Amino acid sequence: MSVARPDGVKVLTLLFIIGGILFLVSAAFGGYFFEATILGLIAIISFGIAYGLWHGRRWARTATMILAIVGLVVSLMFTLILWPLGIVGIIIETTVIYYLTRPHVKNFFGKGAVAAPALRPTFPSPDEYGTIRCSNCGHVNPDNFNYCGKCGTPLTEEEETKIY
């Protein structure tokens, strides 16, 4: 059973695709080979993360969290230089981090609550049911036994001694 893709994941995927396109265009029209290569690599990474987010890959959520944390640190430093723009970055990155830690989003990426393992069937303890003492050997048997579990003697109503 697959988990429905959350709307916020769709938005994040779209943002990574747009970012990848912008980096790709910047690489195509960039001035120097080194800068164009770096921007091209960033574009490829953005497209890869978008793919992973869309398909609910754990590594994509982790990569997005790391990028959001790095972006938050950069935004905090940016606030020292250009106060208003840094605040916008802080709000955006904090929102992304908060969203990716929500239970339904973690569940989509397979990091949600783990289902409890199937329990083995339990059988009642001797204290939970009546017992019958064998008239031949004295062995105590559950009251649903027809024969003694030790000597095999039939346990009948006339011969049994019930213990409760």
Question: Could you give the CA distance from residue 101 to residue 89 in angstroms, rounded to a whole number?
Answer: 19
In this structure, the dihedral spanned by the alpha carbons of residues 7, 12, 14 and 18, taken in order and rounded to 10 degrees, is 160
- 57 occurs within a structural domain: yes
Answer yes or no: do 13 and 71 share one domain: yes
Q: What would the pLDDT profile of 13-65 be if each residue is shown by its tens digit? A: 999 999 889 888 888 887 687 788 888 898 899 999 999 999 999 999 999 99
Answer yes or no: do 61 and 32 share one domain: yes
The pLDDT of residue 24 is 87
Question: Could you give the CA distance from residue 61 to residue 43 in angstroms, rounded to a whole number?
Answer: 18
Question: Could you give the CA distance from residue 70 to residue 78 in angstroms, rounded to a whole number?
Answer: 12
10 Å CB burial of residue 106 (0-12, 13-18, 19+) is middle
Answer yes or no: do 72 and 128 share one domain: no
- 16 occurs within a structural domain: yes
- The two tokens of residue 107 are 């569940």
Answer yes or no: do 79 and 141 share one domain: no
Domains: count for the chain: 2
| DSSP string over 107-140 | HHTT-SPPPPPPPPP----GGGS-EEE-TTT--E
The pLDDT of residue 1 is 46
The pLDDT of residue 48 is 94
Answer yes or no: do 85 and 41 share one domain: yes
Answer yes or no: do 35 and 84 share one domain: yes
Q: What would the pLDDT profile of 54-107 be if each residue is shown by its tens digit? A: 999 999 999 999 999 998 898 888 888 777 777 888 888 899 999 999 999 999
pLDDT for residue 161 is more than 60: no
The pLDDT of residue 88 is 84
Answer yes or no: do 75 and 131 share one domain: no
- 46 occurs within a structural domain: yes
107/142: higher pLDDT:
107
Contact 108, 9 (CB under 8 A): yes
- 37 occurs within a structural domain: yes
Backbone angle region of 143, left / alpha / beta, with phi > 0 → left and psi within -120 to 50 → alpha: alpha
Q: Which of 86-90, 120-124, 153-157 has the lowest mean pLDDT?
A: 120-124
Q: Which of 113, 101, 157, 98 is nearest to 132 (CA)?
A: 157
Answer yes or no: do 102 and 150 share one domain: no
Answer yes or no: do 97 and 24 share one domain: yes
Answer yes or no: do 128 and 102 share one domain: no
User: Which range marks the domain in which residue 134 is found?
Assistant: 124-164
Answer yes or no: do 74 and 134 share one domain: no
32/159: higher pLDDT:
32
